[in-house]
Copies of this chain bind each other. A is one copy, B any other.
Amino acid sequence: MEIKVVRQILEWNADCDKELKKLLNEKKVLMLNIMGSPGGGKTTFITRIIENLRTKYKIGVIEADIAGKIDAEKMADMGIPVVQLNTDGACHTEAESIKNILPFFNLDDIDILIVENIGNLVCPAEFDIGEDLKIALLSIPEGDDKVEKYPLMFSRADAIVLSKYDMKDYFQFDDNRVINNVKNNNSNAVIFKINSSKGEGINTFVNWIQNYIKK
């Protein structure tokens, strides 16, 4: 019973995802879907992307949270167009929700639309939301076994960001364990090592992103 219904939802989501991808290609907007655990460093990572790219490109943000608007306020403080999506308990965003939010943006005036997904390594991996690139964060304090424990998330990501990388000295974290596990399931994924709090490693990431700009 449960599986059947989930399939129906996923099929509906796939249609909506296609429609969004078509629209965003027409409007030449690059959409990034940023995923990771609660407290994995998604918001700080996004603020660093904005700081590095805002002089060259126009950036908008969709902040998805179960409740509240803590992260959206951080983006608004930076002067970035932002919409908060409250999922009211749901563990992921769906393409339909993004479709309903897009009219709040002037897409002709956006080059990069960043979606900060719900903090969750499980559910968001199942739902395409019109994005061009899926970016999965894995923070050092979470441990080096997470690729094995949450295989769908890391097998579907275009890029994997090892975040809070400055904490390497304080946690037993074996980069090679992560890299080898990613290679086994997702050999095309690019891996970045970033300390967002000081901005270390962000240059390599923003250089990579610029390959995908559409305008």
The interface of chain A, by Cβ under 8 A from chain B, is: 1-2, 5, 8-9, 37-40, 65-68, 70, 89, 91, 118-123, 126, 139, 141-143, 145-146, 148-152, 164, 167, 170
Contacts and interface: CB of A to CB of B under 8 A. Distances in A.
Contact of A66 (B39, B119, B150, B170): B150
Contacts of A65: 149
Given A91-B91, A122-B91, A151 B38 contact: no
5 contacts: A2-B5, A38-B142, A39-B139, A66-B149, A70-B149
The number of times this chain is found in the oligomer is: 2
A149 to B, nearest CB: 6
Contact of A121 (B38, B142, B148, B151): B38
Contact of A70 (B9, B122, B145): B145
A-B pairs, top 10 by smallest CB distance, nearest first, are A39-B142, A141-B141, A91-B122, A39-B143, A37-B38, A5-B5, A38-B121, A37-B37, A91-B123, A68-B148
A8 B118 CA distance: 24
